[in-house]
Amino acid sequence: NPATEQVIAQVAEAGVEDVDVAVRSARKALDGEWGHMKASDRGRLLLKLADLIKRDEEELVMLESLDSGKPVSAIRRQDLPAVIDTLVYYAGMADKINGQVIPARADALTYTVREPVGVVGVIIPWNFPLMIGMWKMAPALACGCTLVVKPAEITPLTALKIGELALEAGFPAGVVNVVPGFGKVAGQALVDHPDVDKVTFTGSPTVGRQILQGAAGNLKRVTLELGGKSANIIFPDADIDAAVKAAGSGIFFNTGQVCSAGSRILAHADIYDEVVERLAARAKSMRIGDPLETSTSMGPLVSEVQMNRVLSYIDIGRGEGARVVTGGARATDKGYYVQPTVFAGVEHEMRVSQEEIFGPVATVIKFKDDDDALRIANGTVYSLAAGVWSADIARVHRFARQLKAGTVWINTYGPTDIRLPWGGARDSGFGREHGDMAIENFTEPKVVWINTGR
């Protein structure tokens, strides 16, 4: 438990042999009952799983909070509703995965069908274990795939619970296999396995590159959702109150452990000091404490390793000449808490402006005009998300077009929906999750050509 540093559970560590057993189990299910099940029946099983998650919601909230340090209020408000919404959405899509009749020639009936890609390796990150896990599992199951799920080694508990609920819901044995273990062993074995057809991964760019290398062995398909260093741009004509409130949520939500966190807050020179002052006030007002208390707004970082990483970046920022306006230190003696931190005087080229910190550290960067804002916003190796705050309709449309980001929020920051594509490019990965694009991730198109004669 990152809030108390106490051990809360012992979990079996999957090795290479365990992963092989799980993959063979998934293949057997794919070739058996699951592979012959009607699509509408798959949808009904997803709905049943959603009902069981609602029934056991409090247990799942507690497990997620104890395991990751997330405040229970945030899990109830965002994570659990998103999990259920995802299941219901893809349950309805299961029997609507259609092909096309394409009149290629007069003497043939030619059409396409979409078939399951096969056995899918699902590698879940530790920052949103339940929510991101279901973002991957639900569409794959709707498409008729079978799964081998590898949760992060520091947050495995809710994945194990979902595995139990899947069996209770009536999913045939072997459809959902959960293999908790370390990335370098269980994760690598899953990526390297010749009978895994697809890997979907959310995590760091470093691990994403390793997965690509491993996937080359049998040319398995890969979807990668990786890091971010997202710019949140505030112009003088914006609603400053709303912009700063959203900027605070955009970097301090989930203790900054969000791939799309608005970690670079770009403020126009005319309002720079005001934005820094207001953001610092919001940081100081954050209620840091026990994640199990409903009044807590910010919990600990997920692990001692992550805490030390964040603290080291704060030291780097100081060394580069940035100024800590508030925060900048460990918040408690016990638990992996770091004070919400605001840096001012940040230059675009500094490491704290270029590298993903993945913690509650806001860097506020001054810009002089639209071109300067675009230069800074697009000047990293990431391209996952961005935000723009302005009342100028022409400006926001121009920025929406010119920003290198998979998602651009205008006069808001951070909302997602399972119906909208999610993903980025460059070091933010490739491919898109959510919506009907997820159906493309987990299916293969097949052409059928029937000779009809003249």
Partners of 14 in beta bridges: none
d(CA 426, CA 395): 25
Partners of 364 in beta bridges: 265
User: With pLDDT > 70 as the criterion, what percentage of the chain qualifies?
Assistant: 100
Other beta carbons within 10 angstroms of residue 52's beta carbon come to 19
* Mean pLDDT, all residues of the chain: 97
pLDDT of residue 162: 98
pLDDT at 391 over 90: yes
R_g (Cα) of the chain, nearest Å: 23
DSSP state of 22: H
Is 33 buried (19+), middle (13-18) or exposed (0-12) by CB count in 10 A? Answer: middle
pLDDT at 286 over 80: yes
Partners of 294 in beta bridges: none
pLDDT of residue 281: 98
Residues 6+ apart with CB under 8 A from 184: none
pLDDT of residue 292: 97
pLDDT tens column, 40-59: 999 999 999 999 999 999 99
Is 133 buried (19+), middle (13-18) or exposed (0-12) by CB count in 10 A? Answer: buried
pLDDT at 94 over 80: yes
Residue 160's nearest CA partner among 64, 47, 233 is 64
pLDDT of residue 242: 98
Other beta carbons within 10 angstroms of residue 171's beta carbon come to 24
Residue 145's nearest CA partner among 201, 200, 191, 82 is 200
Q: Which single residue is written with the structure tokens 């438990």?
A: 1
Residue range 390-407: mean pLDDT, rounded: 98
What tokens does 89 get? Answer: 């959405």
Backbone angles phi, psi at 211, to 5 degrees: -65, -40
Tally of helices (H runs) and strands (E runs) in the chain: 16, 15
d(CA 200, CA 212): 11
3-state secondary structure (DSSP) of residue 196 = coil
Of the CA atoms within 13 Å of residue 96, those in its CB half-sphere come to 8
Residue range 119-134: mean pLDDT, rounded: 98
Active site positions, annotated: 225, 259
SS (H, E, C) 219-257: CCEEEEECCCCCEEEECCCCCHHHHHHHHHHHHHHHHHC
pLDDT at 454 over 80: no
Fill in the amino acid letter for 207: V
Residues 6+ apart with CB under 8 A from 224: 201, 202, 208, 211, 212, 429, 430, 431
DSSP E strands in 295-355: the ranges are: 323-326, 341-346
d(CA 252, CA 359): 8
pLDDT of residue 345: 98
pLDDT at 13 over 80: yes
d(CA 56, CA 68): 18
pLDDT of residue 453: 87
SS (H, E, C) 1-19: CCCCCCCCCCCCCCCHHHH
pLDDT band at 119 (very low <50, low <70, confident <90, very high): very high
User: With pLDDT > 90 as the criterion, what percentage of the chain qualifies?
Assistant: 99
pLDDT at 439 over 80: yes
3-state secondary structure (DSSP) of residue 322 = coil
* DSSP state string for 95-110: GG----B----TTEEE
pLDDT tens column, 405-417: 999 999 999 999 9
What tokens does 30 get? Answer: 């794919």
Which H helix or E strand runs over 451? strand 443-451
What tokens does 226 get? Answer: 């990786």
What tokens does 198 get? Answer: 């697809």
Residue range 199-206: mean pLDDT, rounded: 97
Sheet architecture: strand order including 231-234 = 323-326, 341-346, 361-367, 264-268, 231-234, 385-389, 407-410
Residue range 66-76: mean pLDDT, rounded: 97
Backbone angles phi, psi at 82, to 5 degrees: -65, -40
What tokens does 77 get? Answer: 């408000």
pLDDT tens column, 340-376: 999 999 999 999 999 999 999 999 999 999 999 999 9
Residue 437's nearest CA partner among 121, 112, 205, 90 is 90
Residue 244's nearest CA partner among 280, 285, 270 is 280
